[in-house]
Chains A and B, each alone.
Chain A
Amino acid sequence: EAGVVQSPRYKIIEKKQPVAFWCNPISGHNTLYWYLQNLGQGPELLIRYENEEAVDDSQLPKDRFSAERLKGVDSTLKIQPAELGDSAVYLCASSLVSGAGELFFGEGSRLTVL
């Protein structure tokens, strides 16, 4: 069974540039999460989807971050414009049962903003 697939694995951009991350969850997993992880910190939830509906986006900085999950399968997280403080690893995760706590994470997308 394929795991959660994310791309790109690494991205280096200059500040004020846009960037997008893509995630394909495990087949059959209706719940999809985007987390942000800074160095030495635990993952912090940005947004959670149940199918195509964003059910928790309270921690998503909506002035510059946006996300979509069209058709309830893969998802895209966008930052526009990027700031220096956005440098982090963006983790996508999926779960079979909503909120069950058993999350399967992708390898992450490491963003460096110069």
Chain B
Amino acid sequence: QKEVEQNSGPLSVPEGAIASLNCTYSDRGSQSFFWYRQYSGKSPELIMSIYSNGDKEDGRFTAQLNKASQYVSLLIRDSQPSDSATYLCAVSRNTDKLIFGTGTRLQVFP
């Protein structure tokens, strides 16, 4: 079992729709959760972090965390073609090691 699992996609959504990206993790001691966006040929950039159960909203992005189910998700509202990228889920048990998933490729079509 991988430590951080994501569906590789591609996830295709029409412009204006909600894109839902999911991630599960195996270490129940995980405390910190992150979503990075990576455009093709570029390096990852942090877009969201979440540390406690529930929802955290930032503009069109909402991160959701359920530690009991070991599940974290990212919702992108009003998806735009410019959101087309690979979204990497990253998890940390404490404050010293970040484990990345393989990423989900999102395609937003006009």
Contact = CB atoms under 8 A, between A and B. Distances in A.
Contacts, number: 56
Contacts of B46: 101-104
Interface string B33-54: 0100000001111100100000
A40 B95 contact: no
Given A40-B8, A44-B100, A56-B96, A101 B44 contact: no
A105 B90 CA distance: 14
Given A101-B90, A102-B49, A103-B46, A40 B102 contact: yes
Contact of B96 (A42, A98, A108): A98
Interface residues of A, number: 21
30 contacts: A40-B102, A41-B102, A42-B88, A42-B90, A42-B100, A42-B101, A42-B103, A43-B44, A44-B100, A45-B97, A45-B98, A48-B97, A56-B97, A91-B43, A91-B44, A98-B95, A98-B96, A99-B92, A100-B95, A101-B32, A101-B34, A101-B46, A101-B98, A102-B49, A103-B44, A104-B46, A105-B43, A105-B45, A107-B42, A108-B43
